[in-house]
Amino acid sequence: MASFNRRMLFLVIFTASVFCFWANPSVAELPRLKQPAKAGDSLSFLVVGDWGRKGEYNQSLVAKQMGIVGKKLNLDFVISTGDNFYEDGLKGVDDPAFYESFVDIYTAPSLQKQWYIVLGNHDYRGDVEAQLSPILKGKDSRWICFRSFILNSGTVDFFFVDTTPFVDEYFTNPGNSTYDWKGILPRQAYLSQLLKDVDSALKQSKAKWKLVVGHHTIKSAGTHGNTVELEEQLLPILKANDVDAYINGHDHCLEQIIDSESGIQFLTSGGGSKAWRDNVKPWNKEELKLYYDGQGFMSVQITETKVDLVFYDVEGNVLHKWSITKDLNAAA
């Protein structure tokens, strides 16, 4: 009898936990991925954002230059900061846009590496679960997309954060757009669990470098400017955990801001296709190291003690370089 009760208890707990997971998938910890670094723990990757336009608006030209730079740097992987498919994400797993905007565009041999991808607001206007589906990975094995996840590679931990559900406007004033909030609601529970998960993952991290990636800006002099919801909710967590940089897209430009108070680098790489000319807000010149209102992308090379950032335009010309160094003995 006692063993029957134990079996029943186990069954109840098991059923309850399955139900909790099913009812609120965010209860689970963030997925953790690992990619080995090169010898000596060095790492190189490209960052591109706001790109999926079937090759138009110079997407193909940016892709070509990414291929050339990628070869020089012997890339480990590529990061996409979101808005992967314009205007309204993917219609489903069989949407030909997956080939027209991704598979058939980034064809250079050097870009045949893993792509670590977050979703942007335009992706949320389509079938979000299609972009998250393993079926896409079956069509092109480079494709790795989760809402939020952690990637460890050598001395670096990356924290990919799903930023679209933070933005009030998409809920209160969506205009003619329809957003796919399946898996997000109830919204406050989703956001507070996500913030908790990111905070505890950052606290656990022993990595020398901590980089956070999201679609939306936190600090930007571009058209969209700062995202107030992220400044209020995510930024304090980044500051409390000594994050080195926050990397985003959303503003269609290339940009580097170093926050004078926290020292955090705010890096925008949103020039994957259509760019917005002449739309820059005034910003403290000490902080704004680069603002380029054209198309392009960014490369990052990291060793245990140094990060090298390079920004490129649509022709592959170097627009701007920056190095960040860290004492080998300094606390991570």
Contact residues for Zn ion (CB under 5 A)? 83, 120-121, 250
* Residue 161 main-chain phi, psi, to 5 deg: -120, 130
* Nearest residue to Zn ion, scored by beta-carbon proximity: 250
- Of 145 and 302, the one with the shorter C-beta distance to Zn ion is 145
Q: How far is the CB of 250 from Zn ion (least distance, A)?
A: 4
Structure tokens at 32: 């953790």
In Å, how far are 51, 60, 102, 255, 332 from 57, measured between CA atoms? Answer: 9, 8, 14, 19, 41
- Of 83 and 197, the one with the shorter C-beta distance to Zn ion is 83
- Of 70 and 82, the one with the shorter C-beta distance to Zn ion is 82
Give the start-end residues of each E strand in the chain.
32-34, 43-48, 77-80, 114-117, 143-145, 149-153, 156-161, 209-214, 245-248, 254-258, 265-269, 288-292, 296-302, 306-313, 318-325
Q: Please report where in the chains the tokens 């020292």 appear, as a residue.
A: 263
Q: Decide if 81 contacts 248 (C-beta within 8 A).
A: yes
Active-site residue list? 224
Q: How far is the CB of 57 from Zn ion (least distance, A)?
A: 15
Q: How far is the CB of 301 from Zn ion (least distance, A)?
A: 27
- Of 69 and 90, the one with the shorter C-beta distance to Zn ion is 90
Q: Please report where in the chains the tokens 């299609």 appear, as a residue.
A: 130
Q: How far is it, in rounded angstroms, from Cα 159 to Cα 324? A: 19
Residues in CB range of 231: below 8 A, 6 or more apart: 218, 219
Q: How far is the CB of 192 from Zn ion (least distance, A)?
A: 23
